Amino acid sequence: MSRKVKAIVLTGNGTNCEIEMAHACKLAGADTVDIVHISELLYGEKRLADYSFLNLPGGFLDGDDLGSAKAGANRFLHAPVRNHREMLFEQLLRFINDGKLILGVCNGFQLMVKLGLLPALCGDYSKQSATLTYNDSGRFEDRWVYLQANPQSPCVFTKNLSFMYLPVRHGEGKFVARQSVQNTILRNNLLALQYCDAAGNISLDYPMNPNGSEKAIAGLCNETGRLFGLMPHPEAYLHRTNHPRWTREALPEEGQGVAIFRNAVNFIRSSDF
Amino acid sequence: MADRIEVAFQKGVRDALGEKIKKRIINNLSLPVQKVNTVEVYTIEGNLTSKELSAAASGPLSDPVIQKFAINKPVAGSFDWLIEVGFRAGVTDNVGKTAREAIELLLSDKSRKISVYTSRQYLIAGKINKSDAEKIAAGLLANDLIEHYSIVSARDFDFVRGIPVYIPRVAVTDNPAVEEINLAAVADDELLQISREKLLALNLEEMKAIQQYFRNKSIIAARKKNGLGEKITDVELECLAQTWSEHCKHKIFSSLITYTEGRRKITIDSLFQSYIKACTAAIRKAKGKKDFCLSVFVDNAGVIKFNDDYNLVFKVETHNSPSALDPYGGALTGIVGVNRDPFGTGMGAKLIFNTDVFCFASPYYRKKLPPRILHPRRIYEGVREGVEHGGNKSGIPTVNGSIVFDDRYLGKPLVYCGTAGIMPSRINGRPSHTKEIKPGDVIIMTGGRIGKDGIHGATFSSEELHEGSPVTAVQIGDPITQKKMTDFLLIARDRGLYRAITDNGAGGLSSSIGEMATACGGCDIDLALAPLKYAGLKPWEILLSEAQERMSLAVAPEKVKTFLALAQKMGVEATVLGKFTASGKFQIRYNKKTVAFLDMEFLHDGVPQLKLTAKWQPAKYQEPDFPEPVNWGAVLSKMLSRLNICSKESVVRQYDHEVQGGSVIKPLTGAANDGPSDAAVIRPLLASMEGVVVAHGICPRYSDIDAYHMTACAIDEAVRNAVAVGADLDHLAGLDNFCWCDPVKSEKTPDGEYKLAQLVRSNMAIYDYATAYGVPLISGKDSMKNDYQIGKTKISIPPSLLFSVIGKIKDVRRAVTMDAKRPQDLVYIIGETREELGGSEWFALHGKVGNCVPRVDAGKAKSIYRALHRAINAGLVASCHDCSDGGLGVALMETAFAGELGMSIDLSFVPYRGRKRNDYVLFSESASRFIVTVAPQDKANFEKIMQGNTLSEIGFISNDNLFRVYGVSGQLIIKEKISKLKEAWQKPLNF
């Protein structure tokens, strides 16, 4: 009998993609999927330890008022869990150390980067070493982009994936890091997903690279490959009718985004977990 | 003492906002600036230690990878001019609030209270002088109504201390007194003076009705028992003015109108009852068992059935007057405000999409602006940004909209915002679309706090924009506070923690609780319990404040504790204000003492009916006589570049139109994802293939000729847009939003009788066409004073009706988009083209109006819509695009370039009535027409299904990327590259 996959989709304070993220987990075969408001964690009513797959969906945590996910990260770091004498962040670190999976999409990715969960070089999850900042265009944009997965990446979410088409919907998606950090990311293949053109060539040019990300980085994992964040929205392409050209192209019924979640579910069921 | 933390980008990091501002300064103001850098400033009150300050600065307030900060000294490096912009006292500062909450988490003493005020510095490098800097500050960066700014040159700047600390704290008047006014012995002119001075917007008859009420002996006796007397309190007067305002009471729509048209003279007792409500009643009756309406005209939004298990809720509002003063705040408040309508309908609905339609003057307007008017470009950018923040941050996709341009919107831009929701048809065993309140239920207000924001919004929007328009009428919405509140309330709803819910919009508590109290017959609240943003509000201000993000609820006494505990856990403020009663009285207290005591009946039904006259005298214009064009390439480019026709992609892209994961037909479609969709389709339930269709129609130019046909065309446009993507005509509901110029004859409005006749005719058309199509109206709104008058300048908008429709498509996989799909597909036109160019874009291009406005033949149209629906359902339609602004010609080109394919058309095959001119055939705007492409193998089946309707095969799709047109007499008149046409269409608003 295979291991049960229990997914938690965290919401509250401005998160807004929790329903489609939960739907993606279900389509991918997760055994239980709970949408949990962060106050339930802070009140100790729910514990991260009871789950194996944490989803951090898109949205605008606290309006992104201090920069994307900044106030949200601050809450994770400094909000105490009632009656448990610990900060939420300590629960999160235990979750990571237990080898469990975290997927952050858009605002969830921004949150992971600002907390230091990604790229978390040398397993240091407590220091922010990169950032996601304002698009070069200076504006929020909703557009579909082509993506190329890195076959050498340890990322469990992009395993066996190559070329994808997903929407981005953000104003702060430009990946920035110091050169030394970028080099380590490349060397360790933490770069899991890159923006490319329709032919699959990695692109630094607008609009293929919609935000001006350095190294065309769209998605990033940590060294274990179990923590993954990306700016594009896989949960927004779960059915072929989500594709902007579904009325003119022959497409499979299932949207490409499901595969990322299925990889996560399969990994948890596998002996590698 | 307050401290300042300044945050700037590190050297070498791109400042995207600075670059955007630089571009705007160069493009909009033509000033030569080389560089703009931005600095975020946090001014913190609360005696933070230097350790705490540095924890705040290096923690939540800055990004260590790209930013640097300075505490109590300037971070600014080199610049020529520094402009710092901050909010005025009392203006909502969302970032300040978030910063405060973030910093409070860092403090070891969690009960410590601090305040944070934000401002932003713009460091400008460039050869500009002081007056240029002033122009940039006042004309671009700051809105004087809500923001203050300081300008310093590098020479005068104190590089040690920086900009001095400035705290926009609201000055507290420690005197929340209630004023009493004696109306009993006051003469008429004095009554009017009171109305004017207090911005009540009440007329003499209304003031006299109030005066009469206060002369009633038994009423006075009852008042005395409650500690009041013969005088009216300011709380009561303000409450009556709000409840009776045009904005809330729709007095013009309820008036008694004598309408004359030639020899015909009729009396109309309430347009609303006679046309709007009457047509819905007739349609529902005709539909019988197939009636899908559940709640119409009684709640904050209309409710229809989606399927057996779910209901749809839809409402469209306008937020014009505030958007004229502060485009960003006005539009943001417009969208988060209309969100609360479906949210406050029945038991409350989960919000599934937003729509927005704007009417602006040209962003390229070059003439001198009258006083107090912002440049249309600034309005355009501000409104766009407001809707972006309101929609995106709330996690509600903005799926449908349009922008209409006409320079008469200079005085008042129109900002229509719509929101739909979905709710289970039964919640905890009870129908979800009804409201029930029992005497004894506790009144709870939840969400944001009350400030002076938005006071007199309801009365202000019942007037034209004038010199004394109040600045407090402007508010800035806070989507995150609202999101937190709606997250909480949906859980409370499903757990059965409240009995009824409504929103606080125009009129604030006065309106929300006043309306809810009608359900049980009275209320008793204490305003001193209400949570305030700052002390010093007078009781009437608390009652009337339109501070945003608040809902009012009726909670059963035994549920109050659980309700409040859940609110606290989820970080949402909720406060008990009093209880609902059956006393028949609207009783308001302040610290237990009664400050308002009005009969519910008088409050809601005491307003005297207006008596108005309307005279219809059709306008006559000179018939244009320009010759048929020869240079067709230039003509097509000019038409495609018309502001009303060109691409709105730059706006659409900045709205999230896909959040919630159910997007099926997006606003942009086609081979390069940039063609203009006719309507939107979404799947609100991700596990189901059932879809919601939303579309709209608006054609204000036609009202220059006849508002009857303008309305008919708007209804037809909305319906045909919905049908074009696959909606079922038999499951379509409409919403009417009237934006009119003042139609009441007066010294200021000598042509009031004509404008009222336009309104009457528009209502007649609503009745005629909604009934003919069987599309019931479920909700709507009117905004009647869209004029600007300062000095001798008066600008009135053209009568503008927005008709929105919401409908259903059984299987979204049947939906159709407007882009040409494959070479060799056949091109059809459905519907007859007539010489109807009155009010058209083609005539407008020549500065003409004309007289032959498009007329809708509802019988023929309905037959077409049904047949086309069958063809779409049978999978026989490859693409379908409606013909509207710019007629057949524009629809054909859009179909071709959206598909990145060529097209060959023969105009001699177009079913046409009138003088045969190529330009007339191409650009007539006759209603009820579509361009459809069909695969050759589907030709026979398609034609069979469409049999009996006007239909003609007029060409085919080609793979040579050329748009070819053979004219009415057979010769090739147009041969243009698709890419060139698309470029002309994309260019005008691509900023």
Question: DSSP per residue over A64-102, as a string?
Answer: GBTBTTHHHHHHHHHPEETTTTEEHHHHHHHHHHTT-EE
**Angle, helices B939-946/B858-873, rounded to nearest 10 degrees:** 150
Q: Is the ipTM of this complex over 0.90?
A: yes
B102/A75 CB distance under 8 A: yes
A82: nearest CA partner in chain B = B569
Q: What is the mean pLDDT of residues B444-467?
A: 74
Please calculate the CA angle B727-B731-B737 and round it to the nearest 5 degrees: 90
pLDDT at residue B168, as a whole number = 85
Q: Round to whole Å and give the CA distance between B333 and B337.
A: 5
Chain Cα centroid distance, residue B962 = 39
Domains of chain B: 2-153 (3.30.1280.10), 183-250 (no CATH), 626-631+816-991 (3.90.650.10)
Picking from B102, B673, B687, the nearest residue to A71 by CB comes out as: B102
Decide if pLDDT at B462 tops 90: no
B534 band by pLDDT with thresholds 50, 70 and 90 = confident
Give the residue from B483, B485, B725, B986 with the most A CB atoms within 10 Å of its CB, the best one to mutate. Answer: B483
Q: Round to whole Å and give the CA distance between B729 and A174.
A: 45
B395/A178 CB distance under 8 A: no
Q: For residue B746, what are the contacts with CB-CB under 8 A and spacing of at least 6?
A: B752
Structure-block tokens of residue B141: 């960066």
B556 band by pLDDT with thresholds 50, 70 and 90 = very high
Domain assignment present for residue A120? The answer is yes
**Any bridge partners for residue B589, and if so which?**
B526, B594
pLDDT at residue B137, as a whole number = 96
A185 band by pLDDT with thresholds 50, 70 and 90 = very high
B686/A176 CB distance under 8 A: no
Q: What is the mean pLDDT of residues B816-828?
A: 98
Q: Helices then strands (H, E): number in chain B? A: 30, 45
Chain Cα centroid distance, residue B747 = 31
Question: What's A263's domain CATH number?
Answer: 3.40.50.880
pLDDT at residue B461, as a whole number = 57
Domain assignment present for residue A183? The answer is yes
Picking from A15, A16, A244, the nearest residue to B673 by CB comes out as: A244
Chain Cα centroid distance, residue B53 = 41
Q: Which helix (H) or strand (E) holds B358?
A: strand B350-360
Q: Round to whole Å and give the CA distance between B665 and B640.
A: 23
pLDDT at residue B88, as a whole number = 87
Decide if pLDDT at B467 tops 80: no
Catalytic residue, candidates B148, B250, B319, B389: B319
Q: What is the mean pLDDT of residues B416-433?
A: 96
Question: DSSP per residue over A228-247, as a string?
Answer: EEESS-GGG-SBGGGSTTTT
Higher pLDDT, B41 or B168: B41
pLDDT at residue B856, as a whole number = 98
Q: What are A210-259's pLDDT values in tens digits?
A: 999 999 999 999 999 999 999 999 999 999 999 999 999 999 999 999 99
Domain assignment present for residue A100? The answer is yes
Q: Is B566 in CB contact (< 8 Å) with chain A?
A: no
A247/B653 CB distance under 8 A: no
State the sign of the Cα–Cα–Cα–Cα dihedral B110, B112, B113, B117.
negative
Q: What is the mean pLDDT of residues B455-462?
A: 64
Residue appearing with tokens 């409070």:
B104
pLDDT at residue B173, as a whole number = 64
Q: For residue B490, what are the contacts with CB-CB under 8 A and spacing of at least 6?
A: B348, B350
Picking from A169, A212, A245, the nearest residue to B659 by CB comes out as: A169
Range of lowest pLDDT (B321-335, B635-649, B977-991): B321-335
Q: What is the mean pLDDT of residues A184-208?
A: 97
Q: Round to whole Å and give the CA distance between B964 and B958.
A: 10
User: How many other β-carbons are positioned within 10 Å of the β-carbon of residue B197?
Assistant: 8
Range of lowest pLDDT (A171-185, A210-224, B76-90, B283-297): B76-90
A247/B393 CB distance under 8 A: no
Decide if pLDDT at B474 tops 80: no
What residues make up the domain containing A119?
Answer: 6-269
Percentage of chain B beyond pLDDT 90 is 86
Q: Round to whole Å and give the CA distance between B7 and B99.
A: 13
Cα Rg, chain B, nearest whole Å: 29
pLDDT at residue B371, as a whole number = 86
Decide if pLDDT at B89 tops 60: yes
A140/B654 CB distance under 8 A: yes
Residue appearing with tokens 């104190």:
B158
Q: B451: exposed, middle or buried (C-beta count within 10 Å: 0-12, 13-18, 19+)? A: buried
Q: For residue B280, what are the contacts with CB-CB under 8 A and spacing of at least 6?
A: B293, B296, B297, B770, B776, B777, B778
Q: Helices then strands (H, E): number in chain A? A: 7, 13
Supply the mean pLDDT for chain B: 94
Domain assignment present for residue A115? The answer is yes
Domain assignment present for residue A1? The answer is no
Q: Round to whole Å and give the CA distance between B242 and B222.
A: 23
Q: What is the mean pLDDT of residues A194-198?
A: 97
Decide if pLDDT at B916 tops 70: yes
pLDDT at residue B475, as a whole number = 77
Q: For residue B921, what are the contacts with CB-CB under 8 A and spacing of at least 6?
A: B833, B888, B907, B910, B912, B968
**Any bridge partners for residue B827, and if so which?**
B933, B955
Picking from B16, B478, B659, the nearest residue to A134 by CB comes out as: B16
Q: What are B363-383's pLDDT values in tens digits?
A: 999 999 988 889 999 999 999
pLDDT at residue B466, as a whole number = 59
Give the residue from B650, B664, B686 with the most A CB atoms within 10 Å of its CB, the best one to mutate. Answer: B686
pLDDT at residue B507, as a whole number = 82
Catalytic residue, candidates A25, A106, A196, A221: A106
A3 band by pLDDT with thresholds 50, 70 and 90 = confident
pLDDT at residue B176, as a whole number = 78
The type of residue at B278 is: A
Q: Cβ(B192)–Cβ(B211) under 8 Å? A: no
Q: Is B120 in CB contact (< 8 Å) with chain A?
A: no
Q: Round to whole Å and give the CA distance between B610 and B595.
A: 29
**How many domains does one find in chain A?**
1
C-alpha distances in angstroms, B524 versus B218, B231, B254, B337, B574? 20, 20, 29, 26, 18
A111 band by pLDDT with thresholds 50, 70 and 90 = very high
Q: What are B503-525's pLDDT values in tens digits?
A: 988 888 999 999 899 999 999 99
Domain assignment present for residue A44? The answer is yes
Q: What are B689-747's pLDDT values in tens digits?
A: 999 999 999 999 999 999 999 999 999 999 999 999 999 999 999 999 999 999 999 99
Cα Rg, chain A, nearest whole Å: 17
Structure-block tokens of residue B688: 């189901």
Q: What are B607-633's pLDDT values in tens digits?
A: 999 999 999 999 999 999 999 999 999
Q: Round to whole Å and give the CA distance between B728 and B392.
A: 30
Chain B residues touching A131 at Cβ < 8 A = 63, 65-66
Percentage of chain B beyond pLDDT 70 is 98
Picking from B20, B570, B819, the nearest residue to A138 by CB comes out as: B20
B429 band by pLDDT with thresholds 50, 70 and 90 = very high
pLDDT at residue A87, as a whole number = 87
A233 is catalytic: yes
Decide if pLDDT at B472 tops 70: no
User: How many other β-carbons are positioned within 10 Å of the β-carbon of residue A86?
Assistant: 13
A114/B63 CB distance under 8 A: yes
Q: What are B109-133's pLDDT values in tens digits?
A: 888 889 999 999 999 999 999 999 9
Domain assignment present for residue A135? The answer is yes
Q: Round to whole Å and give the CA distance between B338 and B635.
A: 41
pLDDT at residue B793, as a whole number = 87
A62/B819 CB distance under 8 A: no
Q: What are B239-286's pLDDT values in tens digits?
A: 999 899 888 888 999 999 999 999 999 999 999 999 999 999 999 999
A78 is catalytic: no
Q: What is the mean pLDDT of residues B487-511?
A: 93
Alpha helix ranges (H) inside B825-947: 841-845, 858-873, 887-898, 918-923, 939-946
